[in-house]
C-alpha cells in the first residue's frame, strides 16, 4: 500500500497535512460550542496561536538546517517546501496558551479544552498513520521502465542502497525548480541512488529538457503510462519517494524539495534512521 495521500480534484495533500487541518477545525468547533454554552470566546486567540505555532515551527526548521538555506537566504520566506519543526511548533503553542491563560483567566478553561481536543485529533491520527505504515512496509515496486536510450531498467535493481525516486514531468514548474537540487544531491551522495522517473512523456521530450537546462542526471527513466505514479498513489507532481536500503518506503514528499527538506527527508533512509515511516510534504 502506498503512503496515504488525500486528493480533492487536482489538489493533493499528505495525510499528515489533512490531520493538521482536522486538528485546527476540531479546536475551532469545540471553542464555538463552548462559547454557545456561555464560556469566553477564544476563536481569535486560537487563530493567533496557530500563526505563532507555524511561525515558530518554520523558524526552528530553518535554524536546524541553516547551511542548506545559506546559499539562498530568501528561500526561508517560502514555506511551500514543507520545512516545519512540529515539536517546536507544539512547544510554542503550549507556552503561548499558558501565557494567554495567565493574563486572561476567563480564557483558561475554553482555551485548554479546545486546544486539547485539536491536539488529540492531530496526535492520535498521526499515531494511527505511523502504525499503519509500519505494518504495510510498502516496497519499491517491481516495475521495469526504460531509460532515455530505450534500455530496460528494473526499479528493484536499485535496492541495496537507499533510493530516492522523483516523479516529475517537464511541463511541471515545481518539478523544474527542484531538479537542480536533486541533481546536485545525486552528485554529492554516491551512497544513495537517485532515480528520476518522468511521468507521461517521451524520451525525446526529456532529452530536450535536459539539454536546455544543462542538467545531466543519472538514472533518468521514462514512464509513459504513469504506472509508477498509479501504484504509489501519487496524484500530483513532483512527488518524491524515499526508500531505505531494503527497498521499504519511509517517506513521501508532495511538492518541490528545497535543499533543507531534502536533507531532512534523507535522514529517514540513511543508516541509523528510525524504522517507522514518516509522512511529509504539501502540494502546490
Tell how strand 144-147 and strand 220-223 pair up: antiparallel
What whole-number distance in Å separates Cα of residue 213 and Cα of residue 73? 23
Q: How confident is the model at residue 283 (pLDDT cuts 50, 70, 90)?
A: very low
Over residues 93-113, the pLDDT tens digits come to 999 999 999 999 999 999 999
Q: Quick count: other Cβ atoms within 10 Å of Cβ 96?
A: 20
The three three-digit cell numbers of residue 131, written as one number: 502504525
Task: For the chain, report the end-to-end CA distance as a whole number of angstroms.
Answer: 24
Distance CA 216, CA 19 (A): 38
Give me the half-sphere count of Cα atoms (radius 13 Å) on the Cβ side of residue 221: 23
127-177 pLDDT per residue, tens: 877 676 665 578 999 999 999 999 999 999 999 999 999 999 999 999 999
* Sign of the torsion angle spanned by Cα atoms 203, 208, 209, 211: positive
C-alpha cell of 70?
Answer: 545559506
Query: Can you tell me whether residue 242 is helix, strand or coil?
Result: strand
The DSSP element (H or E) to which 92 belongs, if any, is helix 86-103
CA 227 to CA 229: how far, in whole Å? 6
With a cut of 50, say whether residue 36 has pLDDT above it: yes
Distance CA 27, CA 44 (A): 12
Out of 3.30.300.20, 3.40.640.10, 3.10.20.740, 3.40.30.10, the CATH code matching 144-281 is 3.40.30.10
Residue-wise pLDDT for 38-80, tens only, equals: 999 999 999 999 999 999 999 999 998 888 888 778 888 877 7
In terms of C-beta density within 10 A (0-12 exposed, 13-18 middle, 19 or more buried), how is residue 40 classed? Answer: middle
> Within the chain, which residue ranges are assigned CATH 3.40.30.10?
144-281
* pLDDT for position 227: 94
| In the block, residue with C-alpha cell 481536543 | 117
235 has pLDDT over 70: yes
Instruction: Give the residue among 268, 260, 206 at the shortest CA–CA distance from 243.
Output: 268
Length of the chain: 284
Task: Please tell me the number of Cα atoms within 13 Å of 142 on its side-chain side.
Answer: 0
pTM for the full predicted model: 0.76
Amino acid at each position: 500500500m502506498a503512503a496515504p495521500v488525500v486528493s480533492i480534484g487536482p489538489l493533493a495533500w499528505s495525510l499528515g497535512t489533512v490531520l493538521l487541518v482536522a486538528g485546527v477545525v476540531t479546536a475551532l468547533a469545540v471553542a464555538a460550542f463552548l462559547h454557545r454554552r456561555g464560556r469566553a470566546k477564544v476563536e481569535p486567540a486560537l487563530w493567533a496561536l496557530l500563526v505563532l505555532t507555524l511561525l515558530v515551527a518554520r523558524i526552528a526548521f530553518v535554524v536546524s538546517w541553516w547551511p542548506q538555506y545559506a546559499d539562498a537566504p530568501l528561500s526561508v520566506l517560502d514555506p511551500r517546501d514543507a520545512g516545519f519543526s512540529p515539536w517546536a511548533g507544539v512547544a510554542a503553542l503550549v507556552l503561548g496558551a499558558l501565557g494567554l491563560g495567565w493574563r486572561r483567566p476567563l480564557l483558561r478553561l475554553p482555551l485548554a479544552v479546545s486546544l486539547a481536543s485539536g491536539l488529540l485529533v492531530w496526535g492520535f491520527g498521526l499515531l494511527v498513520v505511523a502504525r499503519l505504515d509500519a505494518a504495510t512496509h510498502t516496497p519499491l515496486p517491481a516495475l521495469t521502465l526504460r531509460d532515455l536510450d530505450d534500455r530496460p531498467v528494473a526499479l528493484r535493481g536499485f535496492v541495496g542502497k537507499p533510493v530516492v525516486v522523483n516523479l516529475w514531468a517537464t511541463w511541471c514548474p515545481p518539478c523544474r525548480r527542484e531538479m537542480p537540487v536533486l541533481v546536485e544531491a545525486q552528485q554529492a551522495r554516491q551512497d544513495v541512488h537517485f532515480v528520476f522517473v518522468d511521468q507521461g512523456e517521451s524520451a525525446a521530450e526529456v532529452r530536450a529538457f535536459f539539454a536546455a537546462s544543462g542538467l545531466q542526471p543519472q538514472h533518468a527513466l521514462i514512464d509513459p503510462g504513469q504506472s509508477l505514479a498509479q501504484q504509489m498513489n501519487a496524484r500530483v507532481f513532483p512527488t518524491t519517494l524515499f526508500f531505505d536500503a531494503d527497498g521499504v518506503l519511509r517517506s513521501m514528499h508532495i511538492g518541490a524539495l528545497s535543499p533543507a527538506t531534502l536533507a531532512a527527508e534523507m535522514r529517514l533512509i540513511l543508516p541509523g534512521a528510525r524504522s517507522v515511516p514518516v509522512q511529509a510534504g504539501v502540494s502546490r
